[in-house]
A = this chain, B = another copy of it.
Amino acid sequence: MAKVTLQTIADRVGVSRATVSYAFSRPDQLSDGLRRRILEVADELGYAGPNATARSLRLGRAGALGLLFSETLPYAFADPYAVGFFQGLAAAAEDAGVGLLILPLPRGEQRPVPVRDAVVDAFCVVSLPDGHPALAEVLARKLPMVVVDEPYVPGHPFVGIDEPAAGALAARHVLELGHRRVGVAMVGLHDDGRTGWADPARQRAATFEAMRGRRGGYESACVAAGVDWAGVPFYELSRNSREAGREAGHALLRADPRPTAVLTNTDVLALGILDAAADLGLRVPEDLSVVGFSDSAAQEAGLTTIRQAKQEIGEKAGRLLLSDPPAAPERLIFPHELIVRSSTAAPH
């Protein structure tokens, strides 16, 4: 029961290793009889087929794309946005017949990120905070890499949206409706796990570039509309869940004066805000306007949101990674769009 390799079979049949290899990969290179004989013996010996790793080494291709998420794996799929993105990426992978190797980012910063040992042809990095060690490891591998959403790395393709513009669009929508008392709930600004009020200094120090930009959009739109940003209650969450949104909602809606509009950076969070509003007997949109982001879970709840082409973004990232010759280091900005539903209206 020792390991069976091409050589084992070759010895048994009395041919060279090369011949056995041809029997598996190039039937036209040898006679039918011998081929049958070889396959028979291989079967008899319990040969598991040409070793994938050895093949990969010799052929110089891994047949897989590496994928790095900011969140620890178990939570990565809590957000429908991530799921949509993933579906797009998977579609591209499927077309090319390659696998998708999802790399776990260990939560305890101690253990090494298994990037060095990842058998892949390219990396897709999604939403990593500024200066995350895993990014350095990926860059060290010198394989094709594309970044999605953040952080922008000069010299590598980038796919995402215009975050400041998208944030401003969301904010302008409620401002133009006439709201002046705006509240904000955001997740994914920092990765230090903090939850609670965030002052402007902390907001600006966010380690996630995309969210920093989106927030900047909120601020600039408010400022342009004459709303004092320092007075805007800003609640920061460390987890993107409906429950977290509800918590933020309670905090924001207990503020005095109470906001008449709340901006959130995910639809899931916005749903939680709606829950909090319901808890407090507030009607949406009469008493409170709520804006989500991503259009991932928004339709059924009638949420006004910013739609971004998550699947397209994923698919594009995949195609860039799989393109030969390697993709040019373009910065691809996908369009976003305001979808107005029934969660926003003029105040009063």
Contact = CB atoms under 8 A, between A and B. Distances in A.
Contacts of A118: 52, 63-64, 99
A50 B102 CA distance: 20
Given A48-B140, A49-B140, A87-B73, A56 B98 contact: no
A48 B83 CA distance: 31
A52 B116 contact: yes
Nearest to A87: B74
Given A53-B56, A90-B104, A77 B77 contact: yes
Interface residues of A, number: 55
Contacts of A73: 87, 90-91, 93-94, 100
Interface string A210-230: 000000000000000000000
B91 A99 contact: no
Given A49-B140, A53-B57, A102 B90 contact: yes
Contacts of A242: 300
Interface string A18-33: 0000000000000000
Interface in A151-175: none
A117 interface: yes
Given A52-B141, A63-B114, A99-B114, 11 more contacts: A53-B56, A53-B62, A55-B117, A64-B119, A74-B91, A77-B86, A94-B105, A94-B107, A98-B104, A100-B101, A101-B101
Given A53-B62, A119-B53, A99 B99 contact: no
Contacts of A50: 116
5 nearest A-B pairs in the assembled complex, by CB-CB distance: A73-B90, A94-B104, A48-B142, A74-B87, A100-B102
A102 B104 contact: no
Contacts of A99: 66, 101-104, 114, 118
